[in-house]
Amino acid sequence: MVDRKFINVKPEKVRLVRLISAIRAGSYRIPIFQRDFVWEGKDMLDLFDSISRGYPIGSLLFWIPMMKLKDTGQFGPYVILSGVDDYSYILDGFQRVSTLFGALINPNDDLLKVTDEKDLLKFQIFYDLLNKEFVPYKKSYEVDVCYIPLYVLIDTYEFLVYLDRLKPLEKSEELIANARELATVLIDYEIPYVEILGGDIHSAVEFFSRANSKGKGISTDWMISALSYVEGDF
């Protein structure tokens, strides 16, 4: 049992597909002082391009504090309707995690509530099986099987059904091979993370600031917003 009067830091790794499942189950939350989602489409496509090449995408920073905080309940274009009693807050990696969840979760999942249809389309990313590149949503891609929605690649049932749709095509062997290659990468991909156990908001901000001292520094507005949070309110 961790004494949360003191901070404990635990570095770990998590498979991408397990992270998506854990978010869906409500095991991770976004504190209300977290900044808004600001990534553009190119940022989102670049993230998946890095993953497809096996490049690291940076570590995530999770926090289990001494007290409960208010949270947004939202990841990408979705509000999570399920929940658990024990969960972590995401301090660093919100843009990346929102992108990953928004693009890789099945949009027809009953445990999700869509906040805005326009936002939903922003997170619908496809993979061009012929040219092996990630592309943003276009309505024509919904009927062109050469463009596969990313969420299909990590859903076993959906993926098998999709492969059957590819088999009648002229270049079916190439398309199926490309789809399987990316599916394997996504399913096996691991993301490093650091989990902070205990402490209060001041200690969390200090840890985050020091962790980012040699990289992209913590933003002033984030720090002020976080430090303004007191007992579930501002």
Structure tokens at 92: 């660093």
Per-residue pLDDT of the chain (234 residues; tens, 9 = 90+): 444 455 677 789 999 999 999 999 999 998 887 778 899 999 999 999 999 999 999 999 999 887 788 888 889 899 988 778 889 999 889 999 999 999 999 999 988 999 888 889 999 999 999 999 999 999 999 999 999 999 999 999 999 999 999 999 999 999 999 999 999 999 999 999 988 888 777 766 676 666 554 444 444 444 445 555 444 454
pLDDT at residue 176, rounded to an integer: 98
Other Cβ atoms less than 10 A from the Cβ of 222: the count is: 18
pLDDT at residue 234, rounded to an integer: 42
- Do 195 and 16 meet the contact criterion of CB atoms below 8 Å apart? no
Angle value at C-alpha 124, between 20 and 53, nearest 5 degrees:
65
What's the whole-model pTM score?
A: 0.85
Say how far apart CA 194 and CA 187 lie, in whole Å. 21
| Nearest alpha-carbon partner for 104 in 192, 175, 19 | 19
Structure tokens at 82: 């399920």
At 21 the three-state DSSP class reads helix
At 147 the three-state DSSP class reads strand
Q: Given phi > 0 = left and psi -120 to 50 = alpha, else beta, which region is 76?
A: left
Helix (H) or strand (E) holding 181: helix 172-188
At 190 the three-state DSSP class reads strand
The dihedral sign for the CA sequence 150, 152, 155, 160: negative
pLDDT at residue 180, rounded to an integer: 98
- Do 159 and 183 meet the contact criterion of CB atoms below 8 Å apart? yes
pLDDT at residue 85, rounded to an integer: 81
